[in-house]
Amino acid sequence: MKCIKFNLRFALSTSTMFILMLVSMVYFFLLIFAIEDIAKNSLKRSLNTSVNICSSILDSDEIEKLTEYQQEKSPVFINYRKAIKKIKKEVEDIKFVYIVRQTGTNITYIIDCGDDVSEQAKLGEIYDDAGDGLKELFDNPIEGITFEREYYTDKWGTFLSAYKPIFKNGKIIYVVCSDIKSVDVEKYISNYKNKFTFAFLILLIVIFPIICWITNLIRRPLNKLRDEILKLKDLDVDEHINFKSSISEVNDMIDATDKVKTGLRSFSKYVPDKVVKQLISQGKDAKIGGEKEYVTILFSDIEGFTTISENNETQEVVTALNEYFDIYVRSLEESGATVDKFIGDAVMAFWNAPSKIENHEFVAVKTAMKIVNEINQLNEKWKLEGKKFIFKTRIGIHSGEVIVGNIGSTNRINYTITGDSVNLASRLEGSNKQYNTKILVSEVVYNKTNDLIQYNYIDYVKVKGKELYVKIYQPVQLIHNVL
C-alpha cells in the first residue's frame, strides 16, 4: 500500500490540531468517567480522617459502659459528644459522626453528633435503616476502615458513609461512623467539573499560539536538516553542517547529524565503504546474526614479527607496519575483497561477501601473488634505506562455506565470517613455516584455479587442529599471462 506523503508545514499544523482534539477527547473522557471517582475519593479521605480522629480519642472501656439513655447526662457522654462535634466541624464536608454497637440482632446508637440536636439519635435507640455496609461489617467483622459501596438512604437523608470497627477480644464492641450527604457530594463533584473545565479552557487559550510559534520555529531548520540527512544515504559526508537553530533540541539534532557525518568519515576507515553503503541502502539495522555464504578467505602474517618488535625501536616498527598494511589494504580493496580485521601483524580478508565476485578463488590467489611481489619490492627499498629488518609475509587461502554477518555481543558487533573454512585458511597460513613457502592454498582453491594458475604440489598433510588430511599447493605463476 502506497504511503500518503505530506510536507512539513501541513504535517506540523495537522499534528497540532490533532493534539488539541486529542486533549479535548481526553478531557471529556475524564469529565464523564473519572471526575466523579476523583471527587468521591477526595471525600472519602475526609470520612477517613474523621473516623480515625474520633476513634483515637475514645476509651473503649468507657464507651462500652454507655448502655442506658440516662447516661447521656453523664460527664463521660457529654465530653465525648462535645469532642466529636468539634472534630466534625474541623473536618470539611462531614454531616454526621456517630458511634453504634450491635445489641442482639439490632444496631443501636451510643453517641450521635449532628448539626441539629433534634436530628440526633438517643443512646440505646435502634438504628432501623442502617446501611448495608454497616450491617455486613457486624456480620463479617474486618479490621480497618470500610465504605458504603453506594449511597444509602435513612430517615435523615441519603449519604456516603465510612465505618471503623473497634475490637475487643476479637469481637466488635462498637463502630465509629461518619456521613457525608449525597447533596453535598454532588455539589462537590459539580465544583470539580467547573474547575476542570476552566483549567482546560485556559490551557487551550495559552497553548494554541505557543504551538503555532514552535511549529514555525522547528520547520525551517528541520527542512535544512532533512537535506543533510538525505545526503547520508549516499555517504556524502565531506562537508560540515553550517547552520543552527534557536531551539536547543533541534540544535542538538543538527549537532548530532554533523557528528554522524564525522563519525561516518572515520567509520569508513574501519569498515569497508561497500559494507557501510550496503547497510544504508538496505535500510536495515546492524543486528547479530548471519547467513551461509561460499567465500574465499585469506589469512596472512609476518614471519618472526615478535622478534622484530623486540629488537627494534617501536616507532620504526609501527611505521614499517603501516607501509606493509597499505600494500595489503590497497591490493585487497582493489580486488573487491572485504578486509575483515587486523590482528597484530596478521590480516584477515575474504571475497564474495557482502558483494558477489565472479571467480573469486582466482581473484584471491592472483591478489595474494601481487601482494607478495609488492612486499618483496618494499623489502628491497628498506634494505637500501638501511633498515635492520624486512617483513616476510606468509599467506593461506581457502574457499568454503562460512557464516557471514554481524557477530559479537548485543553492544559490540563486527561484520565478519566464522566457521571451519576460516580455521582451515588460518592453518594453511601457519603451514608456510614448515615448507618455507609464502603462499599456500587448499585443494578446493587449486581445483577452481589450476587452469589459470600454475601450482607446485606441496604435500598431503594433516593440518594442525584438523582431523582430515588435505592437499596443499603453492602458486607459482599465472598461465599465459592471465589478467
Q: How do residues 308-345 score in pLDDT, each as one tens digit?
A: 999 999 999 999 999 999 999 999 999 999 999 999 99
**Residue 420 C-alpha from the chain's centroid:** 36
Which letter does DSSP use for residue 126 in this model? Answer: B
* Residue 256 predicted with pLDDT over 80: yes
Rounded Cα distance, 196 and 314, in Å: 75
Burial of 359 (0-12, 13-18, 19+ CB in 10 A): middle
Angle of helix 248-270 relative to helix 182-232, nearest 10 degrees?
A: 40
CATH code for the structural domain at 286-481: 3.30.70.1230
Nearest alpha carbon to residue 87 among 75, 96, 78? 96
Q: Where in the chain is the domain with CATH 3.30.450.20?
A: 12-187
Which residues are 91's β-sheet partners? none
CATH class belonging to 12-187: alpha beta
* Residue 1 predicted with pLDDT over 50: no
Nearest alpha carbon to residue 184 among 95, 98, 96, 112? 95
Model confidence pLDDT, tens digit, residues 30-50:
666 666 677 677 778 888 888
CB under 8 Å to 243, separation ≥6 — which residues? 221, 224, 254
Model pTM score = 0.51
Model confidence pLDDT, tens digit, residues 151-180:
767 776 777 888 999 998 889 999 998 887
DSSP string, 354-381: SS--TTHHHHHHHHHHHHHHHHHHHHHH
| pLDDT of 174 | 93
Percent of the chain with pLDDT over 90: 37
Which letter does DSSP use for residue 32 in this model? Answer: I
* Residue 200 predicted with pLDDT over 80: no
* Residue 2 predicted with pLDDT over 90: no
Q: Which residue has the cell 469532642?
A: 83
Which residues are 291's β-sheet partners? 404
| pLDDT of 11 | 62
Joined grid coordinates for residue 27:
478531557
Joined grid coordinates for residue 353:
561477501
| pLDDT of 411 | 74
